[in-house]
Structure 1
Amino acid sequence: MADPGQSAVVWFRRDLRVGDQPIFLAAANAADSALALFVLDPALLGPAGAARLNFLFGTLRELDDALDGRLLVVRGEPADVVPRVAEAVRAATVHVAADFGPYGSRRDEAVEQALAADGRELVRTGSPYAVAPGRVRKTDGEPFKVFTPFRRAWTEHGWRAPADTGATTLNWIDPSSKDGGPRAVAIPDDLPVDAALPEPGEKAALRTWRDFLADAGDSGGVDGYGDARNRPDLPGTSRMSVHLKYGCVHPRTLLADLANRRSASADTYRTEIAWREFYADILHQRPDSARRNYDRAFDALPVETDAQARAAFEAWQEGRTGFPIVDAGMRQLRAEAWMHNRVRMIVASFLVKDLHLPWWWGARHFMTLLVDGDLASNQHGWQWTAGSGTDASPYFRVFNPVTQGERFDPEGAYVRRYVPELASVPGRAVHQPWALRDGIPEGYPEPIVDHKQERQEALHRYERVKNARR
C-alpha cells in the first residue's frame, strides 16, 4: 500500500502511453501521487533524424493531453536531472520500464547510483518487450544464438496479460507545484522534414491496430498477412513498427489480441514479434554487435570504402542505381521515412553484395531516415543480409534485384509509385527498363553495376570469410 503523503516519479521513455502500463501500478502501490516526467536527453536526440524526432514530439503532445497537461518535460543528462526532479517533489521512488539497450542500460545504472546517493530508489517494472531480454535461456542457462529455438522457448515462457491502467490510475502532480529542480521546457516544435509521417500517439496506434485486425482478405489485415506481407505493392503490413518503437502500444497488447486468432497468418505475425524480441535479446547479450559484426569471422570480408565506393553509396541513397526495385525502395524511404520490409532486404543485399560496401553504412543511413528506426532490429536485420549476424542469410544467397522485383511486385505497381520516370512502362517490364525496345526512359539511369558479375565477386570475397574460419 502507498504511504500517506508519499510521492513518486514516473519517468517515461519508450512507453509513451497510459494504457497497459505496469509502472503505473507499481507507482500507485508505492505512493499516493506521482509526477509524470520525460527527459529530452541530448545523447538520444542528437543521433535521431527529423522524422523520428517529429514523431516523438507529436507523441509527447498527445501524452501530455492525456495527462491533462501534467507531463513535466526537462532537458539534460538523466543522471543529473532525474534525481533533481525527484528531490523537487520529495519522491522516494522513480518508476521506469527497464531498458536493455547499450546506452539505456548504462544511463539507468548511472541514474540508479545518483538516486541511491540521495536515499532514493529506481524501480524497474516491465520492459518494452513481451518477454524481457535475458529472461529466455536454454536449459543449460546459456542465451540463445539461433532464432527458431528462441521462438519456441519464448512462446513456452509466455507473457503477462495487458495491465488495466489509464490516465486516472495515478493522482498526477502538477509540475508547476514542484519545489525547485530543473526548469520545465516546452515540447519542441516539429523539424522541417519532407517525408509524410504516420500519425503519432497512443490513439493512432490503437486505431491502426484495430484496422489491421478488422481488415480481411488476401491483400490486407491480419488474416492475409502471411502472404501479403511480402508484397510491397499491396497494403499487407500492419505499420505498427513505429508505434512499438515508442511504446505507443505494448507488444503484450498485440499478442493478447492475436491469441484469439487461430490462423497461419496470425502465427506469422506472432513470429515477427518474436524476431523483434530475439534481436533485442541478442543486442543485450552482445552490445558490441550494434557497431561490429556479430560473427567476427566477417571482419575478414573485404569491403570498398574509397571515393568510387562513396559515389556508389550516394547513388544507392538517392535511388538512382538503375535497378528499379532498389530505387523505388530508397525513394520510398525518403518520401515516407519508412520502407517495406521485403524491400529493406533487397536494398540491403544490393548495397552489401552488389556494391560491396560496409553494412554499417547502410544501417546508419536507415537509422537517420527511418521513423521506426530501432537499433536492435535495424542493426541485426542488416547483419542478417550481410551474413555476419545470427541466423544470417547464407553467404551464397545474393538477391537478384530483377527477379525479386518480378516476384514481389509482379505488375510493377510499387516501382511506378515511387519512380515516376518509369510510370509509362507497362507491367513487369518496369523491372528491366534497359531491355525495352525503345531504350531506357528519359531521366532514368542505366544500371551502375552488372549484377551477374558482382554476384560472382561477392562469392569470391565471401571465400575469405570461409578461410578465416579454418
Structure 2
Amino acid sequence: MTHVWWARRDLRLDDNPALLSAQEDGPAVAVFAWTPALHFWSGRRRAHLARVLWSLREETGGALAVRRAPAAHAVLAAARQADATVVWAAQEYTPAGVREQAEVAEALEADGRELRMIGSPYAVAPGRVRKADGTPYRVFTPFRGAWREHGWRSPAGPADPEGFAHLAPDASDVDIDQIAAHGDSEDPLERPHEFREARVREALEDFVGGDLEHYSEERDRPDLDSTSHLSSALAFGLVHPRTVLALTGTVDHSAARTFESEISWREFHADTLWHEPRALRESLSTVVLEEDWTSGPDADRAFMAWRDGRTGFPLVDAGMRQLASTGWMHNRVRMVVASFLVKDLHLPWQRGADHFRRALVDYDHSQNQLNWQWVAGTGRDASPYFRIFNPDTQAAKFDPNRRYVERWVPELDTPAYPAPMVDHKAERETALALNQRAKGTQGR
C-alpha cells in the first residue's frame, strides 16, 4: 500500500516521523505544495526554499513532487495519482498552518482518504506544557523548567532515501531552478544560506564539539562567530530541535544548558502563539496608546533611515546592513535595532516585524512576532518597556574593538557617515513618558 508524505516545514530525511510513517508499508510518494502564499515571500526566502527543495529532490532520487496549488488541491491530486488512502504530515500550530491542514483533511475525507498527523517542528508540541491547573504558562522561566521536566522523544532515525515511489513526470509543475534564479536576481544576498541537510548536520556537530563550549561567554558578541547559525535550518526543517537537543545533551557543561535555554525560548514563543493567535498582529499588552505611536511622512522617513542603516548609530546601522546583505542578523543586534525602532523612533513593533519578515531568510512566525513583542514590552514575559537599549553602550560592551561595526559600516569616522538622527537620551525620556501616559489611561 502506497502512502503519501506531505512535506511541510520538515524538509529532511533524518528524524522525520511523518516520513517514516509514510514509508512503513513500502515506498512513499512525496509532495510539496507551492501555495499562493509563497508568492508573498521575499525573493531571498523563495530562493532559499527552492534550493532546499532541490536538495531534497536530489536526496529522494527525484521523487519529490512540487505542485503549484493550494495545499488541499496539491495533496489530494498526489493521493489520487498514487491511489493512496493515507497521507502523513507533521502537525503545524501557527494560525495559517492550522487552517491549511484542516482544509487538506476536509478535502481528503470528502474523497474517501485520510490525513494522519504525527510530529511537529518542536521538541515539545505547543499546548503540551501546562501549569498544574491546566492553563498555559505566561512566564518563560517556569515554562522552561516544566518543558525540561516534560522532556522529549529521542530522534526518530533516518528515512530510506530509496524508499520513494515516483509520480508521473507532470506531477511537478514548478521550476525550482528558475525560482531560485529569479529570487537571487530580485533580492540578492551576499551568499546563499546552507540548504543541504547533510551540511547542516555537519555544522551542528562541529558547533557542539567546538564553539558551544564558549557559548555562554560569547553568544552576545556579534564580532565573534560563536553562534550556531542553525536558525535557517530550524525554520525550514532541515534539522529538528530534538536532534539538536540529543547532541547538546551529550555535553556536560553549563554552556550547553544555556544553548538549550535558547531552544526553549523558541518553543515558548510557539506555545504562546498557539494559545494567543492574535499575537501575530496584535500587542498582547498595551505599553503606548495607539494615537501616541509616530505616524505620517516623518515616521516614514525615520523608518527608511532605520531600514537602510542610516541612523547615525553604528551598531544599529551595522545590524540593518548585515540583514540587508545576508538575510541574517546576530541576536543581540536584533534586540538593539528593535529597541531603537520602538523606543527611540516611537514606531509600532509591527512595522519592524514586517520588515524582518521580508528581509530574514530564517523568518519564523512565532519567533519573529513574539521576539518583537518581547523587545517592545507587549508580549508574554516581555522585557519591561522601561528597558531601553542604549546603542552606543551596547556597542562598547559587545563590540569592544569595533570589528563588527567596521565590517558593515566602512564609512564610519568619515564625513560620509551621518550624525545621529535622534538624541537617544531625549527619546528615552519621551518613551518613558508615553508609557506612563498609557498606564494612567488604563487606570481610569
- Shorter-chain TM-score bucket reads over 0.9
Give deviations 1:99-130, integer Å, cap 9, x for gaps. Answer: 00110100100110111111111111100000
Distance 2:153 2:351 in 1: 38
Paired letter, 2:10: D
- Indicate whether 1:95 and 2:88 are aligned: yes
- Indicate whether 1:138 and 2:131 are aligned: yes
CA contact (8 A) 1:329 1:340 kept: yes
CA contact (8 A) 2:286 2:438 kept: no
Give deviations 1:337-382, integer Å, cap 9, x for gaps. Answer: 1000000000000000000011110000011010101111111111
Q: 1:197 to 1:468 in 2, by over 3 A?
A: farther
CA contact (8 A) 1:50 1:369 kept: no
Q: Paired residue for 1:187? A: 176
Q: 1:253 to 1:183 in 2, by over 3 A?
A: closer
Q: 1:240 to 1:126 in 2, by over 3 A?
A: same
Paired letter, 1:359: W
| TM-score of the superposed pair, with normalisation by structure 1 | 0.90
Q: Paired residue for 2:223? A: 233
Equivalent residues in 2 for 1:148-297, closer than 5 Å = 148-168=141-161, 171-176=163-168, 184-189=173-178, 190=180, 191=183, 192=185, 193-195=187-189, 196-215=191-210, 221-296=211-286
Q: Paired residue for 1:34? A: 28
CA contact (8 A) 2:287 2:385 kept: no
CA contact (8 A) 2:49 2:236 kept: yes
Distance 2:356 2:311 in 1: 17
SS in 1 for 2:131: coil
Structure 2 unaligned residues grouped into runs of 5+? none
Q: After TM superposition, give the deviation of residue 213 of structure 1 in Å.
A: 1.6
SS in 1 for 2:85: strand
Paired letter, 1:464: R
Distance 1:144 1:337 in 2: 32
CA contact (8 A) 2:357 2:363 kept: yes
Q: After TM superposition, give the deviation of residue 395 of structure 1 in Å.
A: 1.5
SS in 1 for 2:40: coil
- Indicate whether 1:418 and 2:408 are aligned: yes
- Structure whose CA Rg is larger: 1
Distance 2:309 2:342 in 1: 16
- Indicate whether 1:21 and 2:13 are aligned: no
Give deviations 1:131-157, integer Å, cap 9, x for gaps. Answer: 001111111111111111110110000
Q: Paired residue for 2:351? A: 361
CA contact (8 A) 1:96 1:124 kept: yes
Distance 1:315 1:185 in 2: 37
CA contact (8 A) 2:287 2:377 kept: no
CA contact (8 A) 2:315 2:333 kept: yes
Q: 1:297 to 1:199 in 2, by over 3 A?
A: closer
The CA RMSD measured in Å over matched residues stands at 1.5
Q: After TM superposition, give the deviation of residue 451 of structure 1 in Å.
A: 0.5
Q: Paired residue for 2:46? A: 53
Distance 2:246 2:197 in 1: 17
Q: After TM superposition, give the deviation of residue 166 of structure 1 in Å.
A: 2.7
CA contact (8 A) 1:300 1:464 kept: no
Paired letter, 2:356: F
Q: 1:299 to 1:141 in 2, by over 3 A?
A: farther
Equivalent residues in 2 for 1:291-440, closer than 5 Å = 291-296=281-286, 298=288, 300=290, 302-422=292-412
Q: Which runs of 4+ in 1 moved over 4 A?
A: 296-301
Give deviations 1:26-45, integer Å, cap 9, x for gaps. Answer: 2234x3231011110111x1
Q: 1:301 to 1:241 in 2, by over 3 A?
A: farther
Distance 1:280 1:51 in 2: 24
- Indicate whether 1:446 and 2:440 are aligned: no
SS in 2 for 1:74: strand
Paired letter, 1:197: P
SS in 2 for 1:235: coil
Give deviations 1:431-451, integer Å, cap 9, x for gaps. Answer: xxxxxxxxxx22100111011
Paired letter, 1:467: G
CA contact (8 A) 2:219 2:227 kept: yes
Paired letter, 2:53: L
Q: Paired residue for 1:218? A: none
CA contact (8 A) 1:229 1:237 kept: yes
CA contact (8 A) 1:197 1:337 kept: no
Q: Paired residue for 2:435? A: 462
SS in 2 for 1:10: strand
Distance 1:53 1:265 in 2: 34
Distance 1:222 1:138 in 2: 31
Q: After TM superposition, give the deviation of residue 53 of structure 1 in Å.
A: 1.3
Paired letter, 1:119: G
Select between 311-320 and 71-80 the one with higher mean Cα deviation: 71-80
Distance 2:406 2:135 in 1: 48
CA contact (8 A) 2:287 2:435 kept: no
User: Alignment identity in percent?
Assistant: 46
Distance 1:459 1:361 in 2: 20
Structure 1 unaligned residues grouped into runs of 5+? 1-5, 216-220, 426-440
Distance 2:101 2:417 in 1: 50
Distance 1:171 1:233 in 2: 45
Paired letter, 1:135: R
